[in-house]
Structure 1
């Protein structure tokens, strides 16, 4: 086996191929002061690519990364830098030491989250319009079936990108039209740029494809699962009564339902060979369990959307799962199974919220019943549940 074959084999067996190109050239990303020239073609057909140092530096320079990769307001930047970076199959295979998924992931993390991939404890940053455009375009490229060449090792990085946009992921999974997107954009109050994955443009379908890939990787699953559960807890932070709690039925449940359903589909298809082993691996990779703050918080302005990915867990994952399993009558061996049940997770958060806020038991039971019914609708339909109202 030659160097070219070895380089391609290093990306793993699951690879979605790009159509054969007439000339396969390595592209070097170059940033000039004015940003007019983004790409320099060099080399000859090699079947692999070594990411240039200036491109690698983007992982440490979030603002610059977003500026360089920004596709523009019409989705096609001056040189389509993002599409050319992600869409060339050779860019996912390093000439020197195999798959380069980590470098690609670090660059995208910086460009979409506004924090350096090398910062161990960064604060959440409000998304700018360039950051939001990069995220939407990246998902569109990564989720295009049959046209992407990334390997399995990239899934945790894809999860980190989506973990910084839990509201957008929930809306995209639920499915909205461009008209609804425009209304949501106009109603925004935080001043933060929002990502809208719409059904009309196909962005929502690309998002679902990426989440499906994430659901087959335990580490990636844990990253997104943590962020979605933390987002649900954050929605409860500002809730002062049952009406506020019921908002989670359409603001925080669609993505949880889709992620869990994708995991089950992978188990049925054989892509996930051992469900129990997969669940234990997710539990080991998870940061923990999430509940609302004991006292109601005001959010004026609301925290950045990416704050959920930085939220400290209420309890470490293993202890959270062990205590939760015991509280519901399950044995220690069922802790991972309890942990992987999203309904048990959000009901535990709602129960804690009700106790801490001293919600009367009768009213809390009504909220639980509403959420249980909403969860079943999410599992069956993958569509937004009924908006909150009197129940």
Structure 2
């Protein structure tokens, strides 16, 4: 899917509706994408059908429409919702459908919403070129809404059985969808891959179609920084897992936190690596203007609490946590921003210096690797 407007794929202003399509629509009264084209070789755009537009104002119907099913049997129908090159406000409308179908403000995600999130990422991550502006920001909000689940994505897991797990499954060690989970919440398993699919889902491919938009970049960067503070403040003073159970061979109190810190490095590295890649290939023609716009959309900085926090809020509320103040330093120095938060947390919690060095190293290794190869 390419941009229906904006800097990357400017549409012509004089579109003509072919009479054959108009007659067919009038006769059949069926909601199908209307194809609009001009006289040159510009690829036609498609009008978003009335039936799809209606989903934006009906969350229950939107969730049902985006849910691909436990076996992804409806994935083809979900893909069909996201028309290629939407005309006019089509990108914005499709973004509202994503918002409506994958979240309920302040509430834990249902398994149907979680499967819908998987389907949206799978459908949009497979296309080429930047997403339209309205859909790009919605995709960013989706990844921010599911920040715990998408942070755990680190490639295909052939042992994964479903695109989402129920709250009961999430509470068992077998599924391990992360730490500090809200009770009663389903989780998307973005590492799931069905043999019926031609290729596996790739979170970073969707990022690459999304973060050309400075507002989308800011949404994701805010979500990741908010989650990092949320995560740190739930660790022990020694930077360990407070829920660690002794007796499991090869698993220490810091084993899972170390893994999670590497994944944080991966997500921050992907964002900053894509920004650098887009600077080089011209996708971002004016990086200074891009950075100013990102900063303008950024909510602020996020610091971890000075004492350990034991609450387990719904995943979708993490990115909306209150800011701790305005951003200090270079916002686009990803590691610098992360390490400043880590150091302040460690000082407040009196974390041993050796452990802080270990934590920085875990973040750093994966950050650098993903920064070089973000997609």
> TM-score interval w.r.t. the shorter chain?
0.7 to 0.9
Contact 2:160–2:193, Cα closer than 8 Å, also in 1? no
Contact 1:63–1:114, Cα closer than 8 Å, also in 2? no
Matched, 1:264 2:257: no
Q: Deviations over 1:239-273 (max 9, x none)?
A: 11223464542342211111111111111111111
Query: Which of 223, 228, 234 is the matching residue for 1:232?
Result: 228
Matched, 1:49 2:59: no
Q: Secondary structure at the match of 1:68?
A: helix
Structure 1 counterpart of 2:211: 215
Query: Which of 304, 311, 314 is the matching residue for 2:314?
Result: 304
Query: Which of 8, 13, 20 is the matching residue for 1:14?
Result: 8
Give the RMSD, CA atoms, in angstroms. 3.6
Contact 1:25–1:42, Cα closer than 8 Å, also in 2? no
Matched, 1:291 2:281: no
Q: Deviations over 1:351-380 (max 9, x none)?
A: 111122122445434433454345334435
Shift of 1:134: 1.1
Q: TM-score, normalised by structure 2?
A: 0.74
1:24/1:294 CA distance change after superposition, 3 Å: farther
Shift of 1:212: 0.7
1:1-391 alignment runs, 5 A limit? 11-12=5-6, 14=8, 41-42=30-31, 46-47=35-36, 48-49=46-47, 51-52=49-50, 55-77=52-74, 80-86=76-82, 88-89=83-84, 92-93=86-87, 98-115=88-105, 123=106, 125-146=107-128, 150-172=131-153, 174-179=154-159, 186-188=175-177, 190-198=183-191, 200-201=193-194, 202-205=199-202, 207-240=203-236, 241-244=238-241, 246-299=258-311, 302-316=312-326, 320-321=327-328, 325=329, 338-380=330-372
Contact 1:272–1:278, Cα closer than 8 Å, also in 2? yes
Q: Deviations over 1:130-172 (max 9, x none)?
A: 11111111111112135x8953442112111111111222233
Shift of 1:284: 1.0
Distance in 1 of aligned mates of 2:358 and 2:33:
66
Contact 2:226–2:302, Cα closer than 8 Å, also in 1? yes
Task: List alignment gaps of at least 5 residues for structure 1.
Answer: 1-7, 17-22, 29-38, 116-122, 326-337, 384-391
Q: Deviations over 1:162-210 (max 9, x none)?
A: 11111222233x22422167797623564422212237553432x2221
Q: TM-score, normalised by structure 1?
A: 0.71
Structure 1 counterpart of 2:166: none
Q: Secondary structure at the match of 1:105?
A: helix
Q: Secondary structure at the match of 1:339?
A: coil
Shift of 1:234: 1.0
Higher helix proportion (structure 1 or 2) = 1
Contact 1:167–1:251, Cα closer than 8 Å, also in 2? no
Contact 1:136–1:203, Cα closer than 8 Å, also in 2? no
Structure 2 counterpart of 1:120: none
